[in-house]
Amino acid sequence: MLLQLTQIEKRFGGVTALRSGNLQVQAGEVHLLMGENGAGKSTLMKIVAGLYQPDGGSFLWRGQPVRLTRPADASALGIAMVHQESLLAPHLTVAENIFLGALPSRGFGLVDRRRVHDEAARLIATHNFPLQAGWRVERLSPAGKQLVEICRAIHRGSSLLIFDEPTSSLSEAETREVFRIVGTLRERGAGVIYITHRLDELRSLGDRVTVLRDGETVHTAPMTECTTESIIQHMVGRPVTAIYRREPLPPGEELLRVDRLSLDPLLKNISFSLRAGEIVGLAGLIGAGRTELCRAIFGLDRPTSGSVSVAGRGVAIRSPREAVAAGLALIPEDRQHTGLATALPIAYNITLAHFDEVARMGFLRRAAEESVSRRFIQQLRIKCESPRQLAGRLSGGNQQKVAIAKWLVKQARVFLFDEPTRGIDVGAKVEVFETMDALARAGAAVLMVSSELPELLQVPDRILVMRQGSLTGELPGRTTQEEIMRLAAFSQEASA
Ligand SMILES: Nc1ncnc2c1ncn2[C@@H]1O[C@H](COP(=O)(O)OP(=O)(O)OP(=O)(O)O)[C@@H](O)[C@H]1O
Ligand SMILES: [Mg+2]
């Protein structure tokens, strides 16, 4: 037995993150760790990776009790972790981040830059990742940062690798490469712990599964003895269906019209419209230009040509401020960095965009801030102690929900959701869908960018597909995965 955690406890001030974490991992097995947002998965893994110390319980490594007081202690045992939120140093290069804390030295404490660069380049090439060793990490997309985290972990973890939602922002090809890496590690006899909210990853990867609920291990079993339904049931503690079906509405007036929008070289001549009451999916491979399209509409990037009209009126949107004034809201993909003030309370984050509603109440501001926040905490089931808790102290998925709540600006009529369910657990996904549905029913139009084909087939009324900066087609809501992939990937495969 590689790792044996028994009745692990962890508290943060008054918050109990773990009350009884139990997990056993053998060499050569892939162990899936499942649980709702805030269940304690990342906390338990950060204990294994030496970032946190447990308040109770026993931690055995190869049968011996160990006490890890810093990440370097874990590295020394061959334990490494791919983190859910990037812990990279933004100002350093990809290569420096991969080797950070383990830089090859030329003696006298001098870092051998050439070697760092060359070794990183080799590692990147082995996995065919779209990265360059010399790039600065702060310029990378969420997917790019994730890939750097992965290289970094592979470089230092030889016995046990922990992947905390590694594929949430990755493309199909990159995801396949991660699966391949996991397979290779298993063959080499390493243990792998893999956290995911993507149910389709269960079958293809895991040997065993452990489910955490409210800080407690509630279930462990070989994968062959579990069904997807039984795992979900253990996660939420009650029977649920992961199936969401939206009742479409008759579409109303046109709320957004995008006409021949181009942004050289990322977007090419894009035209479409959204009507009140509609949820429209936007599909495509990573890099197809979906995020760029949302950013251009929202005034974050300046299009080279084309126009945007909101509710029949042409608008020249040059900044997010103008976009908000025109009635647009963008819930960005990279919520951790652009979406949230992690050092400030949840209530502050949620009400930032509701400022008018809150400020109008004058001296009641703080009370209003809290009541508005409580409404959204309830609506999106944000797991927290109180609205005054710091946003950065929430679990990854709950931070996502705060960022979504923040942008549910009441006055907006057109909502652009960029990957709204990334990192969100199965139960909460339905709440996010219901929130989008409620917005549509209240007369808004919703554009939903998603890389998850199953949810694109469940939620939108119709689906736009992009490929390499162009809109390649439109499909009805209940189409097939094959149809979407055909429009999203056809020419890339042809040119590959
Ligand atoms: N540094 C911290 N300070 C205070 N509370 C924390 C801290 N880290 C985690 N928590 C709390 O501990 C609980 C478990 O969080 P954890 O991040 O382990 O959840 P998770 O299972 O990884 O969820 P997710 O699927 O959303 O990533 C949450 O209620 C969270 O708010
Ligand atoms: Mg987590």
Cα dihedral 466→470→471→472 (10° resolution): -80
Q: Residue 193: pLDDT above 80? A: yes
- Ligand 1, residue 12: give the atom nearest the CA: 4
pLDDT band at 412 (very low <50, low <70, confident <90, very high): confident
pLDDT at residue number 278? 96
pLDDT band at 276 (very low <50, low <70, confident <90, very high): very high
Q: What percent of the chain has pLDDT over 90?
A: 50
Q: How far is the CA of 22 from the centre of ligand 2 (A)?
A: 17
Q: How far apart are CA 251 and CA 321, in angstroms?
A: 28
Q: Residue 239: pLDDT above 70? A: no
pLDDT at residue number 291? 93
Q: Residue 466: pLDDT above 50? A: yes
Q: Ligand 1 pocket, 276 CB below 6 A?
A: no
Q: Ligand 1 pocket, 399 CB below 6 A?
A: no
Structure tokens at 354: 């509701």
Hey, how many other C-beta atoms are within 10 angstroms of the C-beta on 280? 23
CATH of range 3-236; options 3.40.50.460, 3.55.50.30, 2.30.30.30, 3.40.50.300: 3.40.50.300
Ligand 1 binding pocket mutation candidate from 10, 11, 12, 217 (most atoms within 8 A of CB): 12
Q: How far is the CA of 41 from the centre of ligand 1 (A)?
A: 8
Q: Which residue is associated with the tokens 């990937």?
A: 489
Q: How far is the CA of 381 from the centre of ligand 1 (A)?
A: 14
Q: Residue 426: pLDDT above 60? A: yes
Digit-coded pLDDT (tens) for 107-161: 555 567 788 899 999 999 988 898 999 999 998 888 888 899 999 999 887 899 9
Q: How far apart are CA 112 and CA 123, in angstroms?
A: 17
Q: Ligand 1 pocket, 38 CB below 6 A?
A: yes
Ligand 1 binding pocket mutation candidate from 169, 193, 393, 404 (most atoms within 8 A of CB): 393
Q: Which fold would CATH assign to domain 254-495?
A: Rossmann fold (3.40.50)
pTM over 0.85, yes/no: no
Candidates 120, 430, 154, 418; CA nearest to 286 is 418
* Fold equal for 3-236 and 254-495: yes
Q: Which residue is associated with the tokens 């055995």?
A: 60
Parse the chain into domains and list their residue ranges: 3-236, 254-495
Handedness of CA 309, 310, 316, 319 (dihedral sign): negative
Q: How far apart are CA 55 and CA 19, in angstroms?
A: 10
Euclidean distance between the first and the last CA atom of the chain, given in angstroms as a whole number: 44
pLDDT band at 306 (very low <50, low <70, confident <90, very high): very high
- Ligand 1, residue 212: give the atom nearest the CA: 21
pLDDT at residue number 240? 63
Nearest residue (CA) to ligand 1, atom 7: 393
Q: How far is the CA of 42 from the centre of ligand 2 (A)?
A: 4
Q: Residue 493: pLDDT above 50? A: no
pLDDT at residue number 496? 34
Candidates 256, 219, 228; CA nearest to 454 is 228
pLDDT at residue number 7? 98
Judged by average pLDDT, the poorest of 73-82, 241-250, 458-467 is 241-250
Q: Ligand 1 pocket, 37 CB below 6 A?
A: yes
Q: Which residue is associated with the tokens 């009209």?
A: 309
Judged by average pLDDT, the poorest of 18-27, 46-55, 379-388 is 379-388
pLDDT band at 47 (very low <50, low <70, confident <90, very high): very high
pLDDT at residue number 481? 85
Taking the CA of 397 as reference, the closest ligand is 1
Q: Ligand 1 pocket, 46 CB below 6 A?
A: no
pLDDT band at 359 (very low <50, low <70, confident <90, very high): low
Nearest residue (CA) to ligand 1, atom 17: 395
DSSP string, 271-308: EEEEETT-EEEEE--TTSSHHHHHHHHTTSS--SEEEE
Mean pLDDT of 467-476: 94
Handedness of CA 137, 140, 142, 145 (dihedral sign): negative
Ligand 1 binding pocket mutation candidate from 394, 425, 429 (most atoms within 8 A of CB): 394
The overall average pLDDT reported for the chain is 87
Hey, how many other C-beta atoms are within 10 angstroms of the C-beta on 69? 9
Digit-coded pLDDT (tens) for 214-232: 999 999 999 999 888 888 8
Judged by average pLDDT, the poorest of 25-29, 108-112, 173-177, 230-234 is 108-112
Which segments of 85-216 does DSSP mark as H helices, in order? 94-99, 113-127, 142-156, 172-187, 200-205
Structure tokens at 157: 């973890």
Instruction: Tell the burial category of 9 from Cβ atoms under 10 Å away from its Cβ (0-12, 13-18, 19+).
Output: middle
Q: Residue 363: pLDDT above 60? A: no
Digit-coded pLDDT (tens) for 440-451: 998 999 999 998
Taking the CA of 196 as reference, the closest ligand is 1
